[in-house]
């Protein structure tokens, strides 16, 4: 099987993400989107993440139920507050807080 030259492999890695898997879960993508813009509409999060609005709603419900996210009603809209102190869920990363992950992708700890 031809794997290509090092330069060819580097060119492919600079393009769009390959289909099949990513390093972050959809839960992480949704949480990052809400941390970046707490007033964003869930339909816009769905477009950004590349999943259905129903999936985003389910993920938001998961994040709320486990204490990572709080939904606050502001007029007719929702505002989302991230609990940046919550621990990451996998046992290998449990000693790290969500805020550490959010700082990598947003530059802030998550709560605004």
H helix or E strand, kind and range, residue 71: strand 69-74
The structural domains of the chain, ordered by start, are 24-106 (1.10.10.10)
User: Among 1-5, 24-28, 72-76, 105-109, whose mean pLDDT is lowest?
Assistant: 1-5
- Asked if 26 contacts 51 with a C-beta cutoff of 8 angstroms, the reply is yes
**Token match 């839960």: residue?**
27
Q: Give the pLDDT confidence score for residue 75 in this predicted structure.
A: 95
Token reading at 74: 């502001």
pLDDT digits (tens, 9 = 90+) for 31-90: 999 999 999 999 999 999 999 999 999 999 999 999 999 999 999 999 999 999 999 999
Claim: this prediction has a pTM higher than 0.95:
no
């Amino acid at each position: 099987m031809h794997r290509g030259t090092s330069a060819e492999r580097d060119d492919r890695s600079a393009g769009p993400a390959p289909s099949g898997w990513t390093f972050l879960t959809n839960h992480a993508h949704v949480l990052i989107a809400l941390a970046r813009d707490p007033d964003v509409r869930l339909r816009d999060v769905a477009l950004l993440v590349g999943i259905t609005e129903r999936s985003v709603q389910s993920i938001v419900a998961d994040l709320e139920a486990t204490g990572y996210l709080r939904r606050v009603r502001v007029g007719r809209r929702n505002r989302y507050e991230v609990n940046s102190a919550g621990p990451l869920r996998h046992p290998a990363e449990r000693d790290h807080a969500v805020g550490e992950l959010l700082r990598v992708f947003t530059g802030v700890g998550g709560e605004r």
